[in-house]
Amino acid sequence: METAPTEENLKGSSVYLMVDPDNDKETPTPNYVMPEHIQALKKWVKAGGVLVIMMNDNLNCEFDHVKPLTAEFGI
């Protein structure tokens, strides 16, 4: 998927992979996980979707915007 997750574009998908979220050191315009993405993913997972999050160390990965997402699932 080349755009942020929404209820609409997650339809028909069974797995969503989030791999090494960018930070501002790696790109001048990182794509952060925003509250609306969290709500779409939460609803999609509850409906049976599988969310896989793979993160790097804190020097090479963005944590602050991903933490609210993982907290929704008790991580």
- 54-65 per-position pLDDT tens digit: 988 877 788 889
| Region of poorest pLDDT, from 5-9, 14-18, 30-34, 43-47 | 30-34
User: For position 61, what pLDDT does the model report?
Assistant: 84
Q: What is the DSSP string of 32-55?
A: ---HHHHHHHHHHHHTT-EEEEE-
User: For position 45, what pLDDT does the model report?
Assistant: 97
**Are 40 and 6 contacting, i.e. CB atoms less than 8 angstroms apart?**
yes
Query: Hey, what amino acid is at 25?
Result: K
15: which 2 tokens? 């797995």
User: For position 24, what pLDDT does the model report?
Assistant: 81
Write the pLDDT tens digit of every residue in 1-26: 888 999 999 999 999 999 887 778 88
11: which 2 tokens? 């339809």
Mean pLDDT of the chain: 91
